[in-house]
Structure 1
Amino acid sequence: MHFSAEDLLDTAFAAEPLPLVELCLALAAAQRTDGPAGFGRWRRELARGLPPGARPLLELVRPDGDNPAFLEPPERDLAAALHAVREAGRALPHADLARAVARTRGGDPGGWLRGLWGGDRAAWEVLDAALRSAHASVIAPHWDAIRRSFRADVAWRGRLLAAHGIRATLAGLHPGARWSGATFEVPGPPDFEARLGGRGLTLMPSPFWTGRPLLAGLPDGSHLLIYPALTPLPPAAADGDGTADAADGSLDALLGRTRAAVLQCLLDQRTTTDLARRLGISLPSASEHTRTLRAAGLVTTRRDGRAVLHTVTGLGVELLRGGV
């Protein structure tokens, strides 16, 4: 991703999460097999509880987050977002139809997707009902938690931006991210190259997304970069050890109660086994928490013989001292 000076000056955080963007990311996450251990239970519950009327969306939403753009309008109000989907349906690119059909099992059985791209009224009623049903079951019950996750992450990244600048802030969005001059690079497939062209970048944390950051174009010609929020996932569940995250505007709201305790405990260097014993959590859970904190630049890990040693970084100490 190539930045100009104008882009660096015009990089900012989104004001609020977007309902249909979060819905598509949640359905994408439900189809993935990686990510935090807590997702396994959530995926199983979602597979059992997703209403039949919402299931057509699974033919459009991909595990890698590469979804048809018209499904993810940048609207903060659900009614406005649903209207934007309808309006976009008047001129869907034919190339998107071919990609969508190629992804389905059996090549669009019943022709529902072709009906969408052909403007068939019944197909669009199916899509509208699916979006409403999926939002009601997957997003609406947890919207407050999603907003807490969003705001806590933005508060932390905002402090990071003020203390260390935009380069460090963006590099902290993914473990493998790095800068090469004015080019921001993130490893992993698919390979693509984007030039922001001086139109700016909006940063948006998602409490559902666990993959590498996703880049999308916005109607005004600027770009949106979606990245995984620090808050334990999924927001509907307790954190990795069953401790509910009810804090608001605090370190617990940002990291989750157990993960915040892990960070505090690592003010002294500890092995994974020692950390698990002191906090009363499992070894896999302790490993998962340290991995996430390390990806955020809050913990460093080194191997000493057979032992794996973890300790808090300077950024982690700053977060513990200042809260959010």
Structure 2
Amino acid sequence: MLRVHFTQEDLARVRVVPTHGPLVEAMFGFRALRTGELGAVPELWRRRVTRGHPRWTAPLGEVMGPESAFDIFTLVGRTPTAAEGLESIIAMSRRRLSSEIEAAVRWRERRGLDGTRWPSAWVNLLAADVAPGRILAPLIDACHAAVVAPYWDRIQRHLAVESTARMQAIATGGIESLFRSLHPTLRWHASTLELLSRPGPPADVHLRGRGIELVPVVFLDAVEGPFWSLDDPSAPAVLFYPALSSLTGGAKIFTPYAESQASGADGGDGPLAQLLGRTRAAALTAIAGGCTTSALARRVGISAAGASQHASVLRRSGLITTVRDGSSVVHDLTPLGRSLLAGSDLGAIPTTPTPQPAT
């Protein structure tokens, strides 16, 4: 059990945040794939994501497997689009990655896990690379594209409704009502939040005025956290909790996509491919959740020039928007593009070959 202690200042800084972005959601989705604990997410989703044995699963499993305690949240924080999060991953220094690995090793030691199994040789090779983020980013991008991107609009809508309900719980019943409504394994006692499902002997943490953010995640079936920012010790702690309480809720988000006939990059002839052409339909699908032109090229398996051309056509058609962010441009769906993609019930996501660390 873990006891999280609140001061009056902490209580004033309790916030419900709808999401920390698609990459964080993808991280939890990937862990659900690895552990098989899907919660309220339909089995059809898992089968669809893993068909074809995507190449990104093995290397990501070494970095972010369920026993590594290595997570994207501490690397990117809250990022509204996948493109922003990927830029943070690309910019990650070798020193930052080493700090995360050391923290994961300490986490494993506290739980008595075998110290000879992790970090693996591949993780050590990654940590020795001068630009580890450039190796991780394509893997995380491919994972996000398969796990979250085709469903992101529906996920966002569900999370918005979920967070609104929790904020109403605060307004009607106060903090105690909020915490009691999040999950059966949480218990509020005086000024202390008890996480009953936390493994290990009883432990205590003190927020010391930093407050806490409560973030719903559709791929969780248990509470995760609290997490702390290594970059900003004064930032709020973050507690992730399950956003789905029933299989019915999961089916509303995932089933229409999972049961569809794929089109686009895998050669299908779904309705969107018939309307736009296979490559352009795959491009529209790949842009869901936001991406740069280079990321679009990787996801669809075309040249950067081809990705730019397809993006231009989709933009002129009113299906995507494009904004400049420094030296890059970021594409995202317009409401019309989201409606077209949702109505087509497709989600073909190409996979990306596994990059190897530079020697």
Equivalent residue for 1:153, pick from 145, 157, 162: 162
Q: Is the 8 A contact 1:30 1:63 kept in 2?
A: no
- Would you say 1:227 and 2:241 are equivalent positions? yes
Provide the secondary structure at the position in 2 that maps to 1:193. Answer: strand
Q: Is the 8 A contact 1:73 1:85 kept in 2?
A: no
Q: Is the 8 A contact 1:215 1:224 kept in 2?
A: yes
Q: Residues 32, 97 of structure 1: CA spacing in aligned structure 2 closer, same or farther, 3 A cutoff?
A: closer
The aligned counterpart of 2:194 is 185
Q: Residues 150, 34 of structure 1: CA spacing in aligned structure 2 closer, same or farther, 3 A cutoff?
A: same
The aligned counterpart of 1:89 is 93
Q: Residues 64, 8 of structure 1: CA spacing in aligned structure 2 closer, same or farther, 3 A cutoff?
A: farther
Instruction: Give the deviation of 1:34 after TM superposition.
Output: 3.7
- Would you say 1:52 and 2:55 are equivalent positions? yes
Q: Which one has more relative contact order, counting CA pairs under 8 Å at least 6 apart? A: 2
Separation in 2 of the partners of 1:170 and 1:64?
Answer: 27
The aligned counterpart of 2:126 is 116
**What residue ranges of structure 1 are gaps of 5+ in the alignment?**
243-324
* TM-score relative to the length of structure 1: 0.63
Bigger shift: residues 62-71 or 222-231: 62-71
- Would you say 1:207 and 2:205 are equivalent positions? no
> Which one-letter code corresponds to 1:230 in the other structure?
L
Separation in 1 of the partners of 2:207 and 2:129?
Answer: 33
The aligned counterpart of 2:10 is 7
Q: Residues 129, 82 of structure 1: CA spacing in aligned structure 2 closer, same or farther, 3 A cutoff?
A: same
Q: Residues 106, 175 of structure 1: CA spacing in aligned structure 2 closer, same or farther, 3 A cutoff?
A: closer
The aligned counterpart of 1:62 is 65
Separation in 1 of the partners of 2:251 and 2:207?
Answer: 31
The aligned counterpart of 1:77 is 81
Provide the secondary structure at the position in 1 that maps to 2:166. Answer: helix
Instruction: Give the deviation of 1:128 after TM superposition.
Output: 1.4
Separation in 2 of the partners of 1:81 and 1:209?
Answer: 20
Q: Is the 8 A contact 2:60 2:139 kept in 1?
A: yes
Q: Is the 8 A contact 2:18 2:216 kept in 1?
A: no
Instruction: Give the deviation of 1:108 after TM superposition.
Output: 5.7
Separation in 2 of the partners of 1:25 and 1:65?
Answer: 13
Q: Residues 2, 67 of structure 1: CA spacing in aligned structure 2 closer, same or farther, 3 A cutoff?
A: same
Q: Percent identity?
A: 26
Instruction: Give the deviation of 1:140 after TM superposition.
Output: 1.2
Separation in 2 of the partners of 1:235 and 1:61?
Answer: 28
Instruction: Give the deviation of 1:64 after TM superposition.
Output: 7.0
Q: Residues 99, 28 of structure 1: CA spacing in aligned structure 2 closer, same or farther, 3 A cutoff?
A: farther
Q: Is the 8 A contact 1:23 1:138 kept in 2?
A: yes
The aligned counterpart of 1:299 is none
Equivalent residue for 2:26, pick from 19, 23, 26: 23
> Which one-letter code corresponds to 2:243 in the other structure?
A
- Deviations for 1:84-134, whole angstroms, at most 9, x for unmatched residues? 22444342315246469978996566x32112322344x543311101111
Q: Is the 8 A contact 1:54 1:129 kept in 2?
A: no
Instruction: Give the deviation of 1:179 after TM superposition.
Output: 1.8
The aligned counterpart of 2:267 is none
Instruction: Give the deviation of 1:135 after TM superposition.
Output: 1.3
Q: Residues 74, 65 of structure 1: CA spacing in aligned structure 2 closer, same or farther, 3 A cutoff?
A: farther
**What residue ranges of structure 2 are gaps of 5+ in the alignment?**
260-359
Separation in 2 of the partners of 1:37 and 1:79?
Answer: 28
Q: Residues 146, 89 of structure 1: CA spacing in aligned structure 2 closer, same or farther, 3 A cutoff?
A: farther
Instruction: Number of aligned residue pairs: give it.
Output: 238
CA RMSD of aligned residues (A): 3.1
* Pairing 1:244-283 to 2, within 5 Å after superposition: none
Instruction: Give the deviation of 1:73 after TM superposition.
Output: 2.7
> Which one-letter code corresponds to 1:200 in the other structure?
G
Q: Is the 8 A contact 1:50 1:134 kept in 2?
A: no
The aligned counterpart of 1:291 is none
Equivalent residue for 2:254, pick from 237, 240, 250: 237
> Which one-letter code corresponds to 2:129 in the other structure?
G
The aligned counterpart of 2:173 is 164
- Would you say 1:217 and 2:221 are equivalent positions? no
Separation in 1 of the partners of 2:130 and 2:74?
Answer: 16
